[in-house]
Structure 1
Amino acid sequence: MLSKLPLRKIIHVDMDAFYASVEELDNPSLKGKPLAVGGNEIRGVVSAANYEARKFGVRSAMSGFMAKKNCPHLTFVKPRYDRYKAISQKIRAIFFDYTDLVEPLSLDEAYLDVTTNKKGNPSASLIAKEIRQRIYNELGLAASAGISINKFIAKVASDFNKPNGQKTVNPEEVIQFLEDLEIRKFYGVGKVTTQKMYKLGIFTGKDLKTKSLEFLKTNFGKSGAYYYNVVRGIHTSEVKAHRIPKSLGAERTFSENLSSEIFMLERLDNIATELEKRLDRAKIAGKTITLKIKYSDFSLQTRSKTLPYFISKKDLIFETAKELLFQEKLENSVRLLGISLANLNTEDKQKEKKKTIDIQLRFDF
C-alpha cells in the first residue's frame, strides 16, 4: 500500500516548553525552578509550564489554583505574547533557509516538507538535526523533531524523544511503528476517544487495525475513516505553506466569577471589539458565531448560530453573541467567555495549487 502513495520527507518541529523556555532565556534566575506562564494561585489558567513544573502534574489549561496546589513552590509569570511571536518569527526564518513549504501550527510548532530542499540534502534526519542545532545556537532554545513519510507520523514521532531530541520513522518502519503505538499517542485521539477505544478493546495501533471501516464509522462517525487510514500509514495531507484559518476568536478569563448575564454584557462587548480588530488585521469575515462559556466548575458549553451572510463588524458580532447568551439559562457562575467566528470567507478565496510528489518507497531519510 505504501509504495502506491506519494511518499514525502516531512519534519515536524516542536519547541520544548516554548513560552516557559523564553521566560527562562530572558530571566536565567528562573532556570531549574518549576515555572508556569499565565494564571496565578488565585485566578486564571496556565498557558504553559516548564518540565520541572510538569513533574508535579502542572499542565496547560489547568487553573492557577490547582497548579499551585500541585506544586506549592511554583513560580507564575505573565505571558508576553509579543515576545513569543518575535522569537517564533526568527525560528521560521531558519525553516525558510531549508524549504518554502513550511506550515506553522502555532507559534511553537510547524511542519516542513524537505522532499526537495534548498540545501540539496537528501537526508531529512540530518536536516532536522541541523535545524535544531541552529535554533539552539542562534536563539538559545531547544526543539524536538519527528521525521517520516507524512504529517501524521512526523507529528507523533516528534513527541517520542522530548525534550531536545528527534525520532525518524523510515518508510520500511512505518507499519510496525504504527502497530506498536499506544492508541493514546495517536494524534487526533483525545482523552474521551481514548477511553471509548479502551472499552472497545483498542489499546494499540495493532488493535485498531483489526477493526473494519464500517465498525469505526459506526462508533466514531466521520473520524472512523481517519483512524482506519492513519493506522495503515495513509495520510495524504500536504504541507500547506499558507494555511487557511478555519476560525478566529477572542476570549477572557475573569478575576471573579460572574453569575448574571447582565454583568457579562460589558465583557462580551470588549471581547467582540477585540475580535473585530483581529478580523480586520486578517482581512477575513465569517458566518458562524460561537459563544464559549466556561463555568466555575470548569465545565464548558458552546452555543452557535450561522448567519446567511458574512460579518466582521463588532456590532453584529456582539448582538449575535448577546442573543446566544440569553438563548438558555446559565448552568452555573461563569469564569470565562469567548466569541469565535467560523465558516470564513477564506474558503471562497483562490486556493494554492497542489503539488504531487511521486517518489520511490525507499530513499535516504
Structure 2
Amino acid sequence: MALLKKETRPVEALAVARSIEEFDLLIEDLDAEYPGAWSSATLDGAPNAVEQLDLDIVDVLIVAVQQEDENALEPFETVIAAGKQRGIAVLLVVDEVSPTTMHRLVRGGADDFAPYPMAEGILAETLSRMRERPATPQAGGGNGAGRNGMVLPVYGVAGGVGATTFAVNLAWEMAQAPRKVDRKVCLIDFDLQFGSVATYLDLARREATMQLLAEPEGRDTAAIVDAMATYKNKMSVLTAPPEAVPYEIIEGPDVQQILDVAAATHDFVIVDMPGSLVGWSSVVLERAETYFTVMEIDIRSAQNMLRFLRALKAEDLPIEKLQYVLNRAPSGMGSGKSRVKRMAESLGIEYNVMLPDGGKAVPNSCDQGAPLSETSGSNALRKEIRKVARSLVELADQQKAARV
C-alpha cells in the first residue's frame, strides 16, 4: 500500500531574517495570521525562496531586521529588491534599529514597516492596510488627476469645547457613503503633543507618524499614505505620534506637503488642529476650503475667540473662511437664545453651526473609542453633525459638477 503524502498548504507569506528564531513573537503572529501557510528563510537562502514563491498565492514578504544587523544591510536590501522585482508586497519588521537604517530600507522598496515587538493585532492591521491600499499617485499628477479633496480643519478656541469630538464624528459621518459611491475620507491629527483622535477611534498611535515627522528626506507620497491607519476600512487616519514632540518638528512646507498628498488621495480631509497657534497654522488656513472654529457660550471661549480673530487680522489671513461652531448651544426660546445672540454680536460674528449638548453619551463614546453613530445613533449631537457632513458632501458634489 502506498504511503499517503501529507498535503502542505501553499506559502502565503515568507519571513526572512538572519535568525528568525529571535523573532518569537512574530512567529506567533504569523501562525495566527497564516496557519500552516507561511515559511521562513535565512538571508543566504532568501533570494531563491523569493524566486520560488507563487505570485498567485503569496500575500507578503516579511523582512525582519535587528539592531545588530545594521552593519550589514546589503543582504536585506537584496531580499527587498528581489521581492519588489516580482511585485510582492514587502513588510519591514524592525527591532530597535536607527531611523537612518529604517529610512534606507524603506527607500529600498519596503511597502510598510512595523516595530518589534508588535502590540496585539498590529500585524493583522498592517497586512489588511497593505492589501487594501490604493495605488499611490505620482508626483506631478502621474497618469491621472488626483481627487483634489476638500481640506476642512477644525480648531477649538479653548480646551474641552469639543473640537476633536466634532472632527472625529464629522469625518466618520462623511465616510458613510453608499456602496457604489467612491468617496474617500482622511482624518489628520495635527495636535502633535496631546492629540486624542487615536483614543477616540481606539487606534494605536503609530511609529510611522514619528518617522514621517522626523525624517523629511523620506517624506514622499508613498511614505505619507503608508503612515495612515485605516478605521473600519472606511476612513484613513493619520494619528498623532506616540510621544509628545515640539510643534516645530515640522514647518510650513512639510504641512503643505502632507495636506497636498492627503487631498490628492482623498475627497475630504478633516484636520484636527492644536489649541496653540503655531508657525504653520496659517498654512492650514490658507489651504482650507472652510475652517471650523469651535467654541462654547462662556467668557473663556469669547475672550479666546477675540484673540484668535485679532491674530488672523494682524497677519491679513483669510478670515472669511471661518465657520463658527457653537457647541452645547442652549435650546429653546428663553434667555439662552438671547445670550447666544448677544455673544455673537459682541464678537462681530454669526454662528454657522449650532450643536446641541449630547449629554453623557458623548464622553462615553470617546471612552469606548467609537463614533457616536456606533454607540448612540439617535443622539441629538450625532444627528446635527450628520447634517453638517451631508451639506459638505452636497457642496463638494456641486463643485465637481461645475468643473465638468
> What interval of TM-score do these two structures reach, taking the shorter chain for normalisation?
under 0.3
More helix by share: 2
Q: Which has the larger radius of gyration?
A: 2
Give me the TM-score of the superposition, normalised by structure 2. Answer: 0.22
More strand by share: 1
For CA contacts below 8 A with separation 6 or more, give which structure has more relative contact order.
Answer: 1
Give me the TM-score of the superposition, normalised by structure 1. Answer: 0.23
